[in-house]
Amino acid sequence: MAADKSYVVYLRRDLLGSSTEELGGDEMSHTYHHLLASCMESKEKAREAIFYSYSGIINGFAATLEDDELEQLERHPQVLQVLPNEAYQIQTTRSWAFMGLEDSKGVVPPNSLWKKTDYGKDRIIATLDTGVWPESPFFNDKGYGPIPSRWNGTCDTAGGSFKCNKKLIGARAFNNGQPGSSPRDVNGHGTHTLSTAGGAFVPKANFLGSANGTAKGGSPKARVAAYKVCNDNGNCFTADITAGFDAAIHDKVDVISVSLGSFIPGDYSRDGIAIGAFHAVRKGITVVCSAGNSGFDGSVTNVAPWIITVAASTLDRRFLSDAVIGNGKRYKGISFKSNTLPSKKFYPLVNSVSVKAPGASNQSALYCYPGSLDPAKVKGKIVLCRRSGVDVQKSYVVSQAGGVGVILANTFTAALAPQAHFIPTSTISQQDGDAIARYISNTSKPVAYLIGYTEIGKVEAPVMAGFSSRGPNRLTPEILKPDITAPGVYIMAGWTQANGPTGQSYDSRRLPFNVISGTSMSCPHVSGIAGLLKTLHPKWSPAAIKSAIITTAKATNNKGKPINTEAGAKAIPFNYGAGHVAPNPAASPGLVYEMNTTDYVNFLCYIGYTKQQIAVFYPEPYQCPPKTSTSLSNLNYPSISVPNLSGKVNVTRTVKNVGTPGVYRVRVGAPAGITVGVSPRVLRFSRVNQSKKYTVSLEAMNNVGTGYLFGNITWSDGKHVVRSPLVVRKTGNAVDSM
């Protein structure tokens, strides 16, 4: 016999009559026992199985059930749904628990990077973005001490309408050089990114009833500064970006987070972000940038080797809203938790075409376009609409017509996504939408009910986001990009009060939080982690911080399997670089791949830049060293990429010990068809900061095909694991060949 499991059973209200709240407990229990007994051997067994009989405000009970009993109960006509009796905990926005900085109950373990750094106390994290909403609770300075004396910045008060404090210590606005501009964020993007990177603790945070818990940034006790380099429409110009970098460097920030970029990568010498970031790194400031949201091969942006480039992937959390129809069938949908109808009962269900307004076309009504629905026919009903255009517009149109809910059926292959709908909405697949349409057509009085909930830990994660821009690096394929992936799908953080969560002109709601997706969201996660690492290791260079993040990344998901793409294929380094960021191991990487300004200037030499072009990055006179065929691949990057392998090629790397003395041995994951040798195979370190060089020899076998091949080089002393991705392509293949 299968082991019993416990469930919560929700029942139709009409099971107990119209006045369920007036019924006595004994009468309700008797009814529940009678119903459950129909799926069990006896009423006595049902009485033993039920351990909660709910009051009638919530119609149902909790019981232990065997698998066959569960199946029978789910088919019972009086049962709305049966949910597993899972443990629910108070949650943050989930990102930081997913990455191990705290556990699922919000408890910070002793090995957490948060614990080791006092939550990044007094680091200074800056964003170049659309500004900031200073009144956001993420920037409350309660409990903060004096501003660090090294801070050299200012606050543009915009005539007194904008104020900084001990948390938000600086804010500047750059708007084509116009004086008096306000750093206030009207768009919302900048507030979201800054609060993700360094927002303070915000208890009881949620978005439309979902993502409940204490929200916080990656470095919650850091000081933050906002540099508004984009206008309110989200357009960011090179002059303003450059001014923002210049100011942030002057102000002595520790980390600059840049969730901006071009559609495709442009030449470094003409890229304001690449140039500004070079100057920041030259001054010891770590720069983290988004990889882009183009989603196709070779579209990754912000690919300069001095930048940490971040892709986007999912969390193990899903915001769901299921549609339950009158025949008992339940269709899984996507939406936020508030999309449970306020009264747990069925509502009349109509197809949008059947309630079209006089003079409206069938097509406009099918997609619930503005003005297409008749309020007299919609009032008090759930409306089945089809997706086309802006999803949230459908729920707005139905709400304006007096509807109480929307079932939004897909009409194409695009992935479903939760949206900030105006009334309870369940977004479902095209197939399920067709099934519900048939139910409506074949039923005299069709009804439905919507219920929202959150699932955590059930799905495999991370999964690479379909929109996340991918490699190879079109400018310099010898540098693997992106470097890393981090949570960037359905991320909750702070929001402006000048704009609704949807950004639509008709959205008059003003919420302190919003849930959005993009590499713009994954980037500040890594920026916050970089702030923690700088707090723990204040003398580490930007290259050392990058190396620690890359070499400790995980290429497996929460189920121990390889990370996949959104399409279900196995992800590769062009999707995620080294893998998913793992902040706690990054605190003690063992070895790091160090680089300095000279290395980066040599890189510019090797790609053929003239002295004039180099001077844009490095103003001092500089004599370029001789170039060889492997000069670019020999840059001491934490990953190894050889895009034009011809014959036998040797690539060198140097690692520095940042841990205790130890003996590191190499493990090689050779790409298919490539012979890989490493010499020496053992590195012995007797002291901290000692450096050792090793050589990787690569040679393609005769039967190697035309695409890129992937492997890894891993050093370990039994405690630390230092893994570098290895990317190889035999000569004769196009740079962007996959």
pLDDT tens digit string along 459-498?
Answer: 899 999 999 999 999 999 999 999 999 999 989 899 999 9
pTM: 0.84
Here the tokens at position 568 are 């279900």
Q: Is pLDDT at 18 greater than 50 in this prediction?
A: no
**Helix, strand, or coil (residue 425):** strand
How far apart are alpha carbons 102 and 583 in whole angstroms? 11
Nearest CA among 198, 182, 202, 197 for reference residue 130: 182
Phi, psi of 113, rounded to the nearest 5 degrees: -65, -25
- Is pLDDT above 60 for 21? no
User: pLDDT of 114-162, one tens digit each?
Assistant: 999 999 999 999 999 999 999 999 999 999 999 999 999 999 998 888 9
| Least confident interval from 15-19, 328-332, 593-597, 683-687 | 15-19
Note if 68 is an active site residue: no
pLDDT digits (tens, 9 = 90+) for 619-651: 888 999 998 888 899 999 999 999 999 889 999
Using the 8-state DSSP alphabet, how is residue 663 labeled? Answer: E
- What's the token pair of residue 525? 């996660």
Domains within the chain, CATH numbers bracketed: 5-84 (3.30.70), 122-315+464-586 (3.40.50.200), 317-456 (3.50.30.30), 636-738 (2.60.40.2310)
% of the chain exceeding 90 in pLDDT:
64
From 33, 76, 189, 580, active-site residue? 189
- Closest of 574, 180, 17 to residue 172, by C-alpha: 180
- Using the 8-state DSSP alphabet, how is residue 14 labeled? G
Give me 466's structure tokens.
Answer: 């379909």
- 364-368, 406-410, 417-421, 664-668: segment of lowest average pLDDT: 417-421
Round to whole Å and give the CA distance between 32 and 62.
10
Per-chain mean pLDDT for the chain: 89
Share of the chain above pLDDT 70, in %: 91
- How many Cα atoms within 13 Å fall on the side-chain side of residue 337? 13
Find the mean pLDDT for residues 278-291.
Answer: 96
**Tens digits of per-residue pLDDT, 36-87?**
998 887 888 888 888 767 555 556 787 888 888 898 998 888 887 677 754 3
374 annotated active-site: no
Q: Which residues contact 167 (CB under 8 A, 6 or more apart)?
A: 139, 140, 141, 144, 200, 223, 224
**DSSP per residue, 174-230:** -STT-TT---B-SSSHHHHHHHHHHPPPEEEEEETTEEEEEE--SSTTSEEEEEE-B
Neighbours of 622 (CB within 10 A): 17
Contacts of 590 (CB under 8 A, 6+ apart): 657, 658, 659, 662, 664, 715, 717, 719, 720, 721, 722
**Residue among 33, 53, 95, 129 flagged as catalytic:** 129
pLDDT grade, residue 90 (50/70/90)?
very low
Which pLDDT does position 55 carry in this prediction?
Answer: 57
Q: Poorest-confidence range of 309-313, 446-450, 616-620?
A: 616-620
**Residue 91 or 211, more confident:** 211
Residue 264: φ, ψ to 5°: -135, 155
Q: How many residues does the chain have?
A: 738
Q: List pLDDT tens digits, range 197-253.
A: 999 999 887 677 666 678 899 999 999 999 999 988 888 888 888 889 999 999 999
- Classify strands 223-228 and 124-129 as parallel, antiparallel or unpaired: parallel
Report which secondary-structure segment, H or E, holds 563.
none
User: E-strand spans in 281-401?
Assistant: 286-290, 308-313, 317-325, 330-331, 347-351, 382-386
Catalytic residue chosen out of the listed positions 136, 219, 399, 520: 520
Asked if 520 is an active-site residue, the reply is yes
Q: What is the dihedral of CA 397, 403, 404, 406, to 10 degrees?
A: -50
Report the C-alpha gap between 631 and 652 in whole angstroms. 10
pLDDT at site 210: 65
Q: In what order do the strands lie in the sheet with 5-11?
A: 50-53, 60-65, 5-11, 79-84
pLDDT at residue 237, as a whole number: 85
Pick from 306, 218, 249: which is nearest to 531 by CA?
A: 218
Residue with tokens 């490539």: 674
Residues 481 and 727 sit within 8 Å (Cβ to Cβ): no
Sequence letter at residue 730: K
Structure tokens at 516: 């959005």
Name residue, tokens 């619930």. 368
